[in-house]
Structure 1
């Protein structure tokens, strides 16, 4: 870990910086880069609050200046365009200072999930060929476990955010910056960050996302959400995955981001909404269910809020209606993927919600119409377009689609075809262009030769007043190949809800293969990903490990 420890003595003492001239030369006839948005937003809104995190604040002028200095630190350490600079941290302002510095210096930002196992962390560091690792003081113990590997890989470690025992400290290094050097030339095609997502091989895989894709995402998302300079957007997400892009949409209009002080906290989230005068917030459907439950005890003060954004996993029409009836706010549903640089693919607008709640209830099952920076095609298994209304795999093409999966040419080839991204999502388009997602292809259940989409089954069962939450999976069946099994949390109001009652509830609402062959009632929380999606594979594996709970032979 010696690369960083001597960096303080390597700073140029009197380097001039014609930032305006450098950027003007760079950006002629090319797409505007995110770092130019930082410069302009910092110049145009210098005193406008950019980030609020607990009792801390930083304005856009400070974010620009601070990221300049961190970029200077990286360059002084020999960082070149395309070198990976990883970070592991809870939500904090420094996360975005670091990201902006990578935008300026041409380093590739790699966010490491604090909940990764040591094996997963090591894989990400090796796979990304990280040269630098920024470590929040609260993550020190996790990094100590892999210190020998960091030494082996010659990764320079920089501590920040409190007391730590690393040789280099970020504040000390930035304090030593005498002047900010010219930044290297970049293009919109240069990789900006690797976003690691679950891989079929059992280790995370990195989507390679570019500077140009981030610019397009920022500008289109602002237009679709309708955010303005005076908005205060609360995004309680983990910063290691692709939705981190939503936490710097303000680069496009100078608005304010409220970020969690460490982690999303169900018990304090709506206190923060009130105290920080939040105008819009985003929650996953699971978190919206929690909000409805918690609001019953003490109603929330949402007087400052004008918009509720939700996404990342399916939301039932029943949940949408409940949220609207309870909170009475405009709502937007968004469909996005890691492989599209978040880059909201489709949006169900507030007006769409109003139509769905009144004259066209089917719309509440839709994820909206596709944004103008994407082309969409619904394709059959052999890659041919299907008719309007027919189900198939969602294919996408547009400027925010990832460059590739890092170091995985075969998996990249599986999902990319002549400029199209194969999403692995099953969906259909109606005559008005609304997109309906049926499920992830990997969750598809084939029972007796019939395709059953778990999300569609869940949408029906959750309408029963006795069901608080549900997860539907497919298990091996000796007669049908696979059978539908529903794992259910009973509502407090229906403690005696029975298997027979719920099956009967489904019979006239689902076709025969889709009606669950078995119901498992549980009080155990469903395992969730860091962005609050149910880990269906984990639920399925748990059921497979408990064959005594299933009334047929799981071996088929």
Structure 2
């Protein structure tokens, strides 16, 4: 079984039920499955064969859902790409990923035209039409005109009798390029088994049913949304409430109008919802579950959100290389604030030292993972694959500890640990303290070189109250942190740099400091 076969089975069972709402328009499972088959047939007619690579340069939309499931049904390998990446970033992934077909919004046609000389291997560009005015430009004069195909026309002319391509569970279904925090992005190859098993296990763990209506505002090109918010609900006949772009006002409207039952977001989204002045707790009364992932959720924010909206927030953990989920806080027992939870079924996590030996309970080490969700390796990077996959275990690069009840706690990224005079300082620990200050909106901590200590802690703070001073924050830190963990200085900024999933980019802050 794979996710596109499962969609077909679900559609046979609940054909008339809404699979998703987009711009307040419903599309049923029967309609979705039909569009997927017809688009798969369209790709087949373009010459897409089993194992060919199809890239999605799309945001949250029906185009993404139909495009991904259709490409998989055609036997292709899907490469989702953030559509707001720079031309260089997009070009690198398209070329490194040996992409044959690109699906892109019509708004990106000028970008594709500009990039065309860089993309000799791209044979077809399937353009997804929007309602926006495109002007009077004559597209027939574009150099990419001969490559361009209409998404709408492909679906309209596709054959519903197309049976798709048979695939093996170990065939690569998706290649997810990491965000490149340690250099050039690496393509994590996820098999059909990886995707199916993790979506099934997450659906089981979160008890997702046909009655669930899931707010889909996380970016679909990111693995968190792909598995937890897209594949798992569609596998079980749930309904997606597709949000093209995150907006607190729109989230409150959708949850209230459609009586949404599940919300999934990253910490930045929770922060915006918590501080939204018109946020009415009554609007969230239908939610049975809120999920947080993508980055560590500050405990102070978690408690404030739950107290204000009376909604249970379950924090989990995952990474692209694990499809992505490995842990979640259980729903049938008390949640532990600050914890990423326990093993989900069929997935095992443990904390090890530099020799790969499991450390005692409570001690910090590297988190490693194994299970049917773990990738087969990095695309065209055999040495990186061997370094990351050892004896069946995926080495995450994250520092963690486990308590006596099997709950895990992320301490920080291994590469972002700060060493002050020989003492380990974990940025998250300092950020938790800063976040707890009543006049702090957001905070991030990095290590900067120091001639005496090797490194010292530097904090960046977005403040809620203009009267807040550096002295105020440092005094607060000294009350809650050991002396060597207290930031050397505090820099107030208007906004912290983030990627499209809302994760704070500490490396950007570090680069900024080192340049000055």
- When the two chains are superposed, the root-mean-square deviation of aligned CA atoms in Å is 1.8
**Alpha-carbon deviation of 1:521?**
2.0
Go from structure 1 to structure 2 and tell me whether the alpha carbon gap of 1:144 and 1:511 turns closer, same or farther (over 3 Å shift): same
1:236 is aligned, of 212, 217, 231, to 217
- 1:459-474 alignment runs, 5 A limit: 459-474=432-447
Partner of 2:72: 103
**Alpha-carbon deviation of 1:54?**
0.9
Q: Distance in 2 between matches of 1:203 and 1:177?
A: 38
3-state SS of paired residue (1:240):
coil
1:221 is aligned, of 202, 206, 210, to 202
Matched, 1:254 2:223: no
**Alpha-carbon deviation of 1:179?**
5.2
**Alpha-carbon deviation of 1:295?**
4.0
Q: Once structures 1 and 2 are overlaid, which stretch shifts more, 237-246 or 157-166? A: 157-166
Partner of 1:395: 368
Partner of 2:103: 134
Q: Deviations over 1:527-551 (max 9, x none)?
A: 11110010000011222233xxxxx
**Alpha-carbon deviation of 1:381?**
1.7
Partner of 1:510: 481
Q: Distance in 1 between matches of 2:102 and 2:499?
A: 24
Partner of 1:288: 270
Please say if residues 197 and 241 of structure 1, whose CA atoms lie closer than 8 Å, have aligned partners that are also in contact: no
Q: Distance in 2 between matches of 1:169 and 1:296?
A: 41
Q: Distance in 2 between matches of 1:237 and 1:55?
A: 18
Q: Distance in 1 between matches of 2:415 and 2:67?
A: 35
Please say if residues 331 and 349 of structure 1, whose CA atoms lie closer than 8 Å, have aligned partners that are also in contact: no
Partner of 2:408: 435
Partner of 1:310: 292
What TM-score, normalized to structure 1?
0.86
3-state SS of paired residue (1:529):
coil
Go from structure 1 to structure 2 and tell me whether the alpha carbon gap of 1:94 and 1:480 turns closer, same or farther (over 3 Å shift): same
- 1:33-112 alignment runs, 5 A limit: 33-112=2-81
Please say if residues 3 and 235 of structure 2, whose CA atoms lie closer than 8 Å, have aligned partners that are also in contact: no
3-state SS of paired residue (2:495):
coil
3-state SS of paired residue (1:364):
coil
Partner of 1:198: 179
Q: Distance in 1 between matches of 2:104 and 2:490?
A: 45
**Alpha-carbon deviation of 1:520?**
1.5
Q: Deviations over 1:213-237 (max 9, x none)?
A: 1111111111111211111000211
Partner of 1:159: 127
3-state SS of paired residue (2:276):
helix
Q: Distance in 2 between matches of 1:306 and 1:297?
A: 18
Flag structure 2 segments of 5+ consecutive residues without an equivalent: 140-144
Q: Deviations over 1:25-72 (max 9, x none)?
A: xxxxxxx22222011011001011001111332111111111111111
Please say if residues 56 and 68 of structure 2, whose CA atoms lie closer than 8 Å, have aligned partners that are also in contact: no
Partner of 2:142: none
Q: Distance in 2 between matches of 1:154 and 1:386?
A: 48
- 1:260-409 alignment runs, 5 A limit: 260=243, 262-295=244-277, 301-342=283-324, 344-350=325-331, 352=333, 355=334, 363-409=336-382
Partner of 1:189: 170
Q: Distance in 2 between matches of 1:100 and 1:345?
A: 24
Go from structure 1 to structure 2 and tell me whether the alpha carbon gap of 1:144 and 1:500 turns closer, same or farther (over 3 Å shift): same
**Alpha-carbon deviation of 1:252?**
2.2
3-state SS of paired residue (2:458):
strand
Go from structure 1 to structure 2 and tell me whether the alpha carbon gap of 1:299 and 1:179 turns closer, same or farther (over 3 Å shift): closer
Q: Distance in 2 between matches of 1:271 and 1:176?
A: 36
Q: Distance in 2 between matches of 1:214 and 1:473?
A: 34
Go from structure 1 to structure 2 and tell me whether the alpha carbon gap of 1:286 and 1:225 turns closer, same or farther (over 3 Å shift): same
**Alpha-carbon deviation of 1:476?**
0.4
Matched, 1:208 2:166: no
Q: Distance in 2 between matches of 1:66 and 1:378?
A: 45
Partner of 1:359: none
Q: Distance in 1 between matches of 2:375 and 2:115?
A: 30
Q: Once structures 1 and 2 are overlaid, which stretch shifts more, 449-458 or 51-60? A: 51-60
Please say if residues 333 and 349 of structure 1, whose CA atoms lie closer than 8 Å, have aligned partners that are also in contact: no
**Alpha-carbon deviation of 1:497?**
2.6
3-state SS of paired residue (1:257):
strand
Matched, 1:445 2:427: no
3-state SS of paired residue (1:140):
helix
3-state SS of paired residue (1:516):
coil
Q: Distance in 2 between matches of 1:162 and 1:533?
A: 29
**Alpha-carbon deviation of 1:90?**
2.1
3-state SS of paired residue (1:116):
coil
Aligned residues: 501
Q: Distance in 2 between matches of 1:461 and 1:63?
A: 46
Q: Distance in 2 between matches of 1:178 and 1:515?
A: 65
**Alpha-carbon deviation of 1:298?**
5.8
Q: Distance in 1 between matches of 2:281 and 2:160?
A: 52
Q: Deviations over 1:457-507 (max 9, x none)?
A: 111222222222111110001100000111112222xx3333333223223
Q: Distance in 1 between matches of 2:492 and 2:432?
A: 17
